[in-house]
Structure 1
Amino acid sequence: MTTIATTTTTTATSAAATIATEVLSRLEGAWNRADGAAFGAVYQPGASFVTVQGQHAQDAEAIGAGHAGIFATIYARSVNTMELVSARELADGVVLAVSRNTLQVPAGPLAGTHQAMSTSILVRDPDGGWSVAATHNTLIGR
C-alpha cells in the first residue's frame, strides 16, 4: 500500500488536502508499479504535463506513453514519494496542489535521489472523481 506523507500549509483546507492526497496516491502508486497507462489515466484527456527537463506532453495518452518510456529506461525500478505541501480550492471543483516529489533511482545514468516540486491543477470529473488537468515539475537543485 502506498502512503503519502502530508504536510499541509495554512492555505490547505481539509477537503482540498484530502482530494490532493488521493490524486497523489494514485500517481505515486502508478509510478511505483511502473505503470505508464495508469499514470496517464489520472490525467484528463486534454491535460498538460511539463517535465523537470521542460518537455511538454499534451493529453493523457501522451503523458502515459511518455511515462511508460521512462519507466522502462532511465527510471527503471525507481521509487517516487509524493508529499503534499499545500492544497487549496481555487473554485468549485478546482484544486491547486503543490507536492515535493522524491525520486530514488537505483541504477543507470540518473542513479541517486532527486527532488522536484510539482504544481498541479486538479478538477472534479462529471462522475464526481478527480483528475489532473495540468502539472508542472521543477527539479530542486543540489
Structure 2
Amino acid sequence: MNDAGLGEVFSAMQKAWAQADADRFARAFAPDADFTSVRGDRLAGRAAIAAAHDRLFATVYIGTRLVMTVRRVRHCAPRLAVSQVDSTLLTLDGSPALGLGGNPGNTMHAQAVLEHGRAGWLIVSFMNMVPLPRIEDH
C-alpha cells in the first residue's frame, strides 16, 4: 500500500468542505465509521457524519474552507493505517474562521484510522481536537 491514496482521502475532504457538500465529505468515511468532533460529539456512521456536517456548513462553518496537512502515516497492517493530520479552518478569503475557541492559528489535530478495501482507503475512526494553550503561555 502506498500513501498516495491516503492523501487523496484528505484532499477529497478539503474539496467537499470548500463546496459545503456534506454528503461528499462523508464519503471519506466507512459506512460504519466512528467520528469524534472537536466538541466531543460522537457520531456513528457515514449518515450521521454527513448530517452533522450539513448542519455545520449551513451555520457556524458557512463560507469556510478546511486546509489539511498529513503529518504522519503509520501502516499497522497491510490494509490498516493510522494518520495524524493537522487542519486549519479559514474563511474563503484566507483569514482564520471563527468557531474554534480562538486557539492560536485556528488549528486542529486529528487522528484517523484508515482501512483499505474495494473502495480504496476509507476512514473507520476519526478523532479531532483543538489544542489548548500551553501552560507557559498563561
RMSD (CA atoms): 2.1
1:90-122 deviation line (CA, Å, top 9, x unaligned): 101111111100001479962875210010011
TM-score (norm: length of structure 1)? 0.81
Q: Aligned partner of 1:137: which letter?
A: N
Distance change (3 Å), C-alpha of 1:140 and 1:75:
same
Indicate the residue corresponding to 2:82 in structure 1. Answer: 96
Indicate the residue corresponding to 1:77 in structure 2. Answer: 63
Indicate the residue corresponding to 2:99 in structure 1. Answer: 110
C-alpha distance in structure 2 between counterparts of 1:95 and 1:109, whole Å: 32
Distance change (3 Å), C-alpha of 1:108 and 1:73:
farther
Indicate the residue corresponding to 1:30 in structure 2. Answer: 16
Aligned residues with identical type, % of pairs: 24
Distance change (3 Å), C-alpha of 1:94 and 1:64:
same
Unaligned runs of 5+ in 1: 1-13
Unaligned runs of 5+ in 2: 134-138
Aligned pairs for 1:1-142 within 5 A: 15-16=2-3, 18-105=4-91, 110=99, 114-127=106-119, 129-142=120-133
Match of 1:15, SS state, is: coil
Q: Which runs of 4+ in 1 moved over 2 A?
A: 105-113
TM-score (norm: length of structure 2)? 0.83
Farther-moved stretch of structure 1 (93-102 vs 110-119): 110-119
How far residue 138 of structure 1 moved from its aligned partner, in angstroms, is 0.8
